Copies of this chain bind each other. A is one copy, B any other.
């Protein structure tokens, strides 16, 4: 599994990285315990600023997706934190966009099901490499 930066993407780079890690966890490509590259290593690989990677990691830590320790670096560690209320609001906006365009409820649900089906089982893949 590979992290990458898309300059054409409107999202800030740190957000792209954050989203990619979250999706990788959802897909099951990485799981509880998987070590992430060091910020400096990843920054070098992606040719982005060290602070940018740092910010992505910090965001992931705040959201409870990874744990950062001084000596062993960052690793996936999904805390029990439930998705916050903003998550639901954001999802509502996302679904409204399609519904307002007259996409049928069932079609929208089908897309959701398809996406969820693309996510992996919950068996942690310890030790799988990320970068």
Contacts and interface: CB of A to CB of B under 8 A. Distances in A.
Interface string A30-60: 0000000000000000000000000000000
A67 B7 contact: yes
A22 B27 CA distance: 30
Given A77-B8, A93-B22, A94-B87, A116 B111 contact: no
Interface of A: 7-8, 12-13, 19, 22-23, 25-27, 62, 64-65, 67, 69-70, 72, 77-79, 81-83, 87-88, 90-103, 105, 108-109, 111-113, 115-116, 118-119, 122
Given A26-B100, A91-B111, 4 more contacts: A26-B95, A65-B101, A82-B101, A88-B111
Number of copies: 4
Contacts of A122: 102
